Structure 1
Amino acid sequence: MSVSRQEKFLTSGRQNQKMRTREALLEAAITLAKDGRSPSIPEVAEAARVSPATAYRYFPNPQSLWNEISSREESLRRDFVGVLEGLTGDAEERIDTVVRSAAAMQFADQLLWRTVLRSIQDRWIEQADLPEADRVPNRGTTRLQMARTALEPLADRLPPEQLDRLVNAVSLVYGIEALVSTQDILGLTPEAATDLMSWSARALIRAALAEAEAPQSD
């Protein structure tokens, strides 16, 4: 089913019921992945208590299902709303809380997040030959928003362009890509990996402040 046909199906007749069925399929897939499985569409259908034929109308193959999940990082990270609202302390303390919370969540559901990452990479490959304007965005902005919120206390110490660069840099050292690197390349335990992510983020903050506060040469 093409994207346009899927959209037509979802937006015609009994829309509320269709959206509930779609959500049930997505939640079932996430639950199965958290149990260490890479489910097929029939398995997801069974878990969601719908027929395989119905499930295939929403997601014609597993890749389409995981593409949808990977584009909905906001919903997967809804627990971070409370984390961000509860941030206290200086920028280092705040980013430490964000990094450790992200690591705890992703290590707890590592198979799910690795599957999401694989789906993101597959989508990039599928769109590699398309013009930029025709590509579906690969990622959300949740991680950037989390880092920016954590670093808000630095807004009066760093010029906007330097703060933006710091937010970008910090976003490189935590999240699923950092998890994969610390596990697969460095061979660290989850605890050591989390400590390294936090240390890296805090080191970047110190480097940015040192650069901003260094005397300017004529």
Structure 2
Amino acid sequence: MESAPGRANQKVRTRKAIVDACRDLARSGAEVTMPQVAARALVSEATAYRYFPDLSSLLQEALESVWSGPEEALAPVAASTDPAERIAFATAYLLRHVHAHQGAVRAMISTTISAPTRAGARPGMRFALIDHALAPFEDLPPAAMARLKRSLALACGAEAFFVLTDLCGLSPDDAIATAAETATTLTRAAFAAGA
């Protein structure tokens, strides 16, 4: 009979194998499903579900270490005093990562659309990037800033990227450029109106 510490160690190794397998699939850009994760982790699907009740909880844990925080992500434009430049950079940064990890992003969106109560489980990278990009600017009244942030959430999110690539037929680079241009236009318009 295996000792209690041995079982505990095996559980830690199994959990790590499942998370690592999910992270590897996410980095590959391939479709991410629980059966694929389980196969890559060399465990049964039932075992994977014992450790994670659903795919979104597994994706959330697996993706935590894949994305940089907003300070690190926006370091190249940290000295910029142009809110539109900072937002354009944030948009391009986010959508390059969406493209690179699109299988995982699509799975997370699908999961939270079919179960809206799980929407809070989605990583909030878009909002953190928008907030950080606009943090230095107090030119806008709070209500105008809140409206701008909501508009940017539409323009620079994964959903916008998938509309541009899947429905409009743009290449990933053209989709990113289009979204960054849209985010720039929204930002300039909001600050011009605020002035």
TM-aligned CA distance change 1:162 to 1:39, over 3 Å: closer
**1:95 maps to which residue?**
87
Matched, 1:114 2:106: yes
Q: Helix, strand or coil for the counterpart of 2:77?
A: coil
Find the aligned partners of 1:163 and 1:35 in 2 and give their Cα distance: 34
**2:3 maps to which residue?**
none
Aligned Cα root-mean-square deviation (Å): 2.9
TM-aligned CA distance change 1:27 to 1:119, over 3 Å: farther
Find the aligned partners of 1:200 and 1:35 in 2 and give their Cα distance: 25
Amino acid paired to 1:68: L
Q: Identify the match of residue 84 of structure 1 among 68, 74, 84.
A: 74
Q: 1:73 deviation in Å?
A: 5.7
Q: 1:104 deviation in Å?
A: 1.4
Find the aligned partners of 1:40 and 1:136 in 2 and give their Cα distance: 19
Unaligned runs of 5+ in 1: 1-12, 128-134, 214-218
Higher relative contact order (CA 8 A, sep 6+): 2
Identity of aligned residues (%): 32
After superposition, the C-alpha distances for 1:148-167 in whole angstroms (9 at most, x for unaligned) are 11112322x11222212212
Matched, 1:151 2:151: no
Amino acid paired to 1:55: A
Find the aligned partners of 2:95 and 2:112 in 1 and give their Cα distance: 19
Indicate if the aligned counterparts of 1:103 and 1:179 stay in contact, CA closer than 8 A.
yes
Q: Helix, strand or coil for the counterpart of 2:18?
A: helix
Find the aligned partners of 1:172 and 1:84 in 2 and give their Cα distance: 20
Q: Identify the match of residue 40 of structure 2 among 43, 47, 68.
A: 47
Unaligned runs of 5+ in 2: 1-6
TM-aligned CA distance change 1:136 to 1:35, over 3 Å: closer
Q: Identify the match of residue 21 of structure 2 among 3, 28, 31.
A: 28
Indicate if the aligned counterparts of 1:96 and 1:202 stay in contact, CA closer than 8 A.
yes
TM-aligned CA distance change 1:45 to 1:117, over 3 Å: same
TM-aligned CA distance change 1:153 to 1:166, over 3 Å: same
TM-aligned CA distance change 1:180 to 1:26, over 3 Å: same
Q: Identify the match of residue 154 of structure 2 among 159, 172, 178.
A: 172
**2:58 maps to which residue?**
68
Find the aligned partners of 2:121 and 2:180 in 1 and give their Cα distance: 26
Q: Helix, strand or coil for the counterpart of 2:30?
A: coil
Find the aligned partners of 2:177 and 2:119 in 1 and give their Cα distance: 34
TM-aligned CA distance change 1:147 to 1:46, over 3 Å: same
After superposition, the C-alpha distances for 1:100-150 in whole angstroms (9 at most, x for unaligned) are 1112121123222212211121222xx5xxxxxxx7735343211110111
Larger radius of gyration: 1
Q: 1:38 deviation in Å?
A: 4.1
**1:207 maps to which residue?**
189
TM-aligned CA distance change 1:20 to 1:136, over 3 Å: farther
Q: 1:194 deviation in Å?
A: 1.0
Superposition TM-score, scaled by structure 2 size: 0.78
Superposition TM-score, scaled by structure 1 size: 0.71
The number of equivalent residue pairs is 186
